[in-house]
């Protein structure tokens, strides 16, 4: 089971409201390559990993990704706090407000609702790990785009941290992938 | 036995070979963010795997008081454990990282105990309190007063 620690993985304190960035950032909550999809992709895949190394790694990265979901949601929440309806509409969040207010709803930056199709689970270990490696690279690229879209250091700091985690996760999946290939999978 | 006196860091100091006159409180009060490890701030414990984006390595978070600094130190230690765990999952035979992992888990436990004694539980399985403090704000996603805890 899971235990909750009453802290984030990395400090976040965003002082300036920025609805445009909130709209872009929600991509990493409910988008195809976002943290929610990552967490449950690995969570679902762990059940059919062939040995202890695979079970442990998928379980533990899935758990860390859940902490990243919380970080992204925290950022969106801070960026949208006390926003007026006029401000939300101006930033292209009018329809979002109609459906969700300023609640946190998993969707991508263009408004497509989250779907479990993003989990991309097969019963095949090599296919799963290839998917995971690609997912980490796509998430890294998304973080780089997001960093390019702002000059607020309160936003850039956590995004640099999250981007680097994608690099590390990719490396770990790659190690596991190479190890299974050697074993003949 | 750890942290019966919240200003007594001798257990931690002994563990990490830090002189006992080292003044943690001074650093907290001065928001000395340099105390946070660059490995934590950049999100990667392994130098040979670090891949910066453009010329940006990390941005130091602004910490406004002792509580935030203490929590950031817990985040730092917890992060080191997380990163070592992922590495050890795939490389369980690496004795050097296994030793670092063990050391860090001890440090994390002590930092958490000290913080929880002062500010309340970080985890709801810790019930060693007079009152039910678990529900007390701030929660991690709240920004009132600039707190990130």
- Asked if residue A136 is part of any domain, the answer here is yes
Instruction: Say which DSSP state B19 is in.
Output: -
- Return the pLDDT at B126: 81
SS3 B118: helix
B106 touches B77 (CB < 8 A): no
pLDDT on residue B131: 84
Tell me the C-alpha to C-alpha distance, in Å, between residue A19 and each of A12, A79, A118, A160, B143: 17, 6, 26, 20, 16
pLDDT the model gives residue B30: 39
* Minimum-distance CB partner of A168 among B68, B78, B83: B83
Contact flag A147-B51 (C-beta cutoff 8 Å): no
Q: What is the CATH number of the domain that holds A141?
A: 1.20.1260.10
User: Which of B58, B79, B125 is closest, CB to CB, to A157?
Assistant: B58
Confirm whether A9 is domain-assigned. no
Distances (CA, A) of B96 to A152, A179, B85, B92, B146: 39, 21, 13, 10, 39
| B57 to chain A: closest CA residue | A160
CA of A92, closest CA in chain B: separation in Å? 24
pLDDT in tens, A119-145: 999 999 999 999 999 999 999 999 999
Inter-chain touch B143–A81, beta carbons under 8 Å:
yes
Eight-class DSSP state of B58: -
Among A13, A57, A157, whose Cβ lies nearest the Cβ of B146? A13
Dihedral angle of Cα B70, B148, B82, B18, to the nearest 10 degrees: -20
Domain that holds residue A132: 19-182
Q: To the nearest whole number, what is the mean pLDDT of chain B?
A: 80
A107: nearest Cα among A41, A40, A27? A27
Chain A residues with CB-CB distance to B146 below 8 A: 13, 15
Chain segment A150-179, per-residue pLDDT in tens:
999 999 999 999 999 999 999 999 999 999
Residue B138 has a pLDDT of 87
Residue A13 lies in a domain: no
Whether residue A146 is contained in a domain is answered as yes
Give the contacts of A167 (CB within 8 A, at least 6 positions apart): A136, A140, B44, B49, B51
A163 closest CB neighbour out of B40, B53, B60: B53
Residue B112 contacts residue B122 (beta carbons within 8 Å) = yes
CA B135, CA B122: separation in Å to the nearest integer?
Answer: 11
Q: CA A28, CA A93: separation in Å to the nearest integer?
A: 16
The reply to whether A171 falls in a domain is yes
Contact between B75 and A11 using a beta-carbon 8 Å cutoff: yes
Tell me how many domains chain A contains. 1
Q: How confident is the model at residue B137 (pLDDT cuts 50, 70, 90)?
A: confident
**pLDDT at residue B32 greater than cutoff 50:** no
Residue contacts between A and B (CB atoms, under 8 Å): 128
| Alpha-carbon gap, residue B118 to B8, rounded angstroms | 13
The ipTM is: 0.96
CA–CA separation, B11 and B17 (whole Å)? 10
Domain membership flag for residue A6: no
Nearest of A105, A28, A104 to residue A68 by alpha carbon: A28
3-state SS assignment for residue A53: helix
Classify the phi-psi angles of A20: left when phi > 0, otherwise alpha if psi is within -120 to 50, otherwise beta: alpha
Q: With contacts defined as CB-CB under 8 Å, which chain A residues touch B143? A: 13-15, 77-78, 81
A68 contact residues in B (CB cutoff 8 A): none
pLDDT at position B143 is 67
Closest CA to B139 of A4, A29, A76: A4
Assess whether pLDDT exceeds 70 at residue B11.
no
């Amino acid at each position: 089971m899971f235990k909750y620690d009453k802290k984030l993985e990395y400090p976040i304190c965003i002082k300036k409201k920025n609805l445009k960035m909130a709209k872009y950032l929600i991509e990493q909550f409910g988008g195809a390559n976002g943290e929610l999809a990552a967490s449950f992709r690995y969570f679902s895949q762990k059940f059919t990993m062939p040995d202890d190394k695979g079970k442990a790694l998928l379980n533990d990265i899935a758990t860390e990704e859940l902490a990243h979901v919380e970080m992204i949601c925290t950022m969106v929440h801070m960026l949208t706090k006390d926003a007026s309806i006029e401000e939300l509409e101006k930033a292209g969040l009018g329809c979002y407000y109609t459906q969700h207010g300023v609640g946190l709803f998993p969707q991508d930056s263009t408004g497509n609702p989250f779907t479990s199709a993003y989990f991309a689970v097969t019963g095949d270990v090599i296919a799963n790990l290839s998917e995971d490696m690609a997912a980490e690279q796509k998430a890294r690229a998304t973080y780089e785009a997001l960093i390019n879209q702002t000059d607020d250091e309160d936003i850039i700091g956590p995004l640099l941290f999250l981007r680097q985690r994608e690099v590390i996760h990719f490396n770990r999946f790659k190690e596991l992938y190479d190890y299974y290939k050697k074993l003949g999978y | 036995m750890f942290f019966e006196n919240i200003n007594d860091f001798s257990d931690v100091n002994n563990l990490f070979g830090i002189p006992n006159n080292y003044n943690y409180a001074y650093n907290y009060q001065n928001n000395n963010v340099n105390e946070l490890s660059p490995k934590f701030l950049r999100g990667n414990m392994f130098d040979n795997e670090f891949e910066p984006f453009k010329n940006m390595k990390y941005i130091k978070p602004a910490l406004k008081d002792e509580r935030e600094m203490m929590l950031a130190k817990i985040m730092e230690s917890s992060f080191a454990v997380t990163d070592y765990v992922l590495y050890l999952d795939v490389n369980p035979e690496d004795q050097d990282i296994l030793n670092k992992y063990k050391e860090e888990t001890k440090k994390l436990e002590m930092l958490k105990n000290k913080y929880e004694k002062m500010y309340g539980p970080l985890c709801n399985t810790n019930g060693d309190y007079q009152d039910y403090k678990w529900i007390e704000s701030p929660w991690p996603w709240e920004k009132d007063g600039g707190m990130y805890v």
